[in-house]
Copies of this chain bind each other. A is one copy, B any other.
Amino acid sequence: MLEKVDMKRKADWQDYDARMAHLEIRMGELQRECKKQGIPIAILFEGFSAAGKGTMIGKMIAPLDPRGFKVYTMEKETEDDKMHPYLWRFATKMPAKGRIHIFDHSWYQGYPQTLQTEEIRQFEKQFTDDGVVLIKFFLAITCKEQKKRLSTLEKSKDTKWRVTEKDWKKNKEYDTNLEQYDTMLIQTDTSNAPWTVVEAMDKKYAICKIMTTVVKRLEIALEAKKAGVKATDAVPDLLEEDLRNGVLQGVDLSLTMEPQEYKKKRKDLQKRLEVLHNKMYLQRVPVVLAFEGWDAGGKGGAIKRITQCMDPRGYEVVPVASPNEVEKSHHYLWRFWEKFPKDGHMTIFDRTWYGRVLVERVEGFATEQEWKRAYQEINAMEAHLVKSGAIVLKFWMHIDPEEQEKRFKQRMETPEKQWKITDEDWRNREKWDEYEKAIDEMMLRTSTQEAPWHIIEANSKLYARIRVLEIVVEALEKRLT
């Protein structure tokens, strides 16, 4: 979840002040309305040291009526806390109806030593089932920024006390911590209590994102209450484009490769792959390659350069289209389970189970509840595959709209490629922004440590094919002896 975020997002909008003014008014209004409707609200802040939790909380509560909220600083255990079960300190502080409780540090401090994922999920679910609006913020900054902030705090006499040995140790181990946080976030990112990762390098950006999130979640909760449905059953797309974690934004599509270099590298990688394919079979390791991407992104081309050098009895390419009648009468993941490889074999999926959170989401083939719970279902399925010993690699073939248009036109003009282009392809282009939103969210919520997403810069077909081959070869070499 964290590794795909561009922490350096800035609030460079002209209408920033007007925006914030509007949000502050809404915060006050919604607080009053939620109090009237008896909706309990819990907001928790986690994040890297020096990411600015305290500052953000201060700014967030500014427009609120102080009689209606309470801030709890939970980092240090009190003597009383230590004498009670770990969750006691939080359970007793959960808000009553109509109240807002804000936690600076929360039960996530207990992860993973004291609390496991399942305990956290169960703990949160009992409250969200009961109608609590649980908003979880994770503030993210880079290692360099963290170091800079810690130094600044340390230099001033007034703030020197806030920087401890522990903080410097955390900065030293930043990369390890990032990994651990990443796992923690993904495993506790549920449809009833999703995480919002806040790019916290730019304070103006961060507070805007935080307030916008709170405003939207409260609006949803109030609507749901009016309609008599559970708020978690009604969570629509949350944030405006400029506030989403724009994973795809940061991709460098200028990367290319010269034909000569391509030829050389392809030969070498394919040779290694051939050897590895044999080892894979003898060592009984199953491999799943999942290809997603924009139409004409180059999935087929990348797949071909993989299979070209392998014994066809040892792999299968599964082209995935919309489900047929039989498949539609089963659980949506059933047809993929059917196709997973046995030990020693490789299955390459051209389009995948991610269709649930992409096309089915955008076109409305799946209900909101269905695609919103799909992230966790997919993560669980992939986790089971990896736990059973499979290598799972996921590729997103990324191109920009201009490149796509170019390729679409080329296909139409080339007789033997005309079959590849349909009206549907052109129609999908019109929904580019909606798809980008869906892809961003997919990357965020399903890029796990065991099965991360690899975004392939695919404007250059040559570059893309080599990149894919490299990732496959490296993964196999790492696992096979």
Residue of B nearest to A126 (CB): B377
Cβ–Cβ contact A94 & B126, under 8 A: no
Could you tell me if A92 and B126 are in contact, using CB atoms closer than 8 angstroms? no
Number of identical protomers: 2
Residues of B within 8 A of A117 (CB): 118
Tell which of A145-153, A251-259, A338-346, A409-417 binds the partner: A338-346
Of residues 167 through 193 on chain A, the ones whose CB sits less than 8 Å from some CB of chain B are none
Which residues 349-383 of A sit at the B interface, judged by CB distance below 8 A? 370, 373, 376-377, 380
Which chain A residues numbered 266 to 323 have a C-beta less than 8 Å away from chain B?
A: 284, 286
- Chain B residue nearest to A379 (CB atoms) is B122
* Best-buried of A126, A129, A286, A387 by chain B (most CB within 10 Å): A126
**Cα distance A132–B123 in the bound complex, in angstroms:** 26
A90 → chain B closest CB, angstroms: 9
A329 and B96 form a contact (CB under 8 A): yes
* A326–B332 alpha-carbon span in the complex (Å): 45
Contacts of A342 in B (CB 8 A): 80, 83-84
- Which residue of the partner chain B has the closest CB to A96? B329
Contact A96 B385 (CB under 8 A): no
Q: A55 interface residue, CB < 8 Å from B?
A: no
The answer to whether B92 touches A388 (Cβ under 8 A) is no
Q: List A94-121 residues whose CB lies under 8 Å from chain B.
A: 94-98, 117-119
Indicate if the CB atoms of A119 and B384 lie closer than 8 Å.
yes
Selected from B94, B330, B387, the residue in CB contact (under 8 A) with A96 is B330
A331 in contact with B94 (CB, 8 Å): yes
Residues from chain B with Cβ under 8 Å of A83 in the complex: 284, 286, 342-344
**CA separation between A247 and B334, bound complex, in Å?**
40
In the complex the two chains form, is B85's CB within 8 Å of A340's CB?
Answer: yes
In the complex the two chains form, is A380's CB within 8 Å of B119's CB? Answer: yes
Known: A342-B80, A385-B85. A330 touches B119 (CB 8 A): no
Known: A83-B284, A340-B85. A334 touches B92 (CB 8 A): yes
A119 CA / B95 CA spacing, docked (Å): 31
Q: Are A384 and B85 in contact (CB under 8 A)?
A: yes
Residues of B close to A127: CB separation below 8 A: 331
Asked whether, in the complex, the Cβ of B384 is within 8 Å of the Cβ of A126, the reply is no
Distance in angstroms between the alpha carbons of A96 and B126 in the assembled complex:
32
Residues of B within 8 A of A82 (CB): 343
Contacts of A85 in B (CB 8 A): 340, 384-385, 387-390
Interface pair B84/A122, CB less than 8 Å apart: no
A421-462 to B contact mask, C-beta < 8 Å, 1/0: 000000000000000000000000000000000000000000
23 contacts between A and B (CB under 8 A): A82-B343, A83-B284, A84-B286, A85-B385, A85-B388, A85-B389, A85-B390, A88-B337, A88-B340, A91-B337, A92-B338, A94-B330, A94-B331, A95-B330, A96-B326, A96-B329, A97-B329, A97-B330, A98-B329, A117-B118, A126-B333, A126-B373, A127-B331
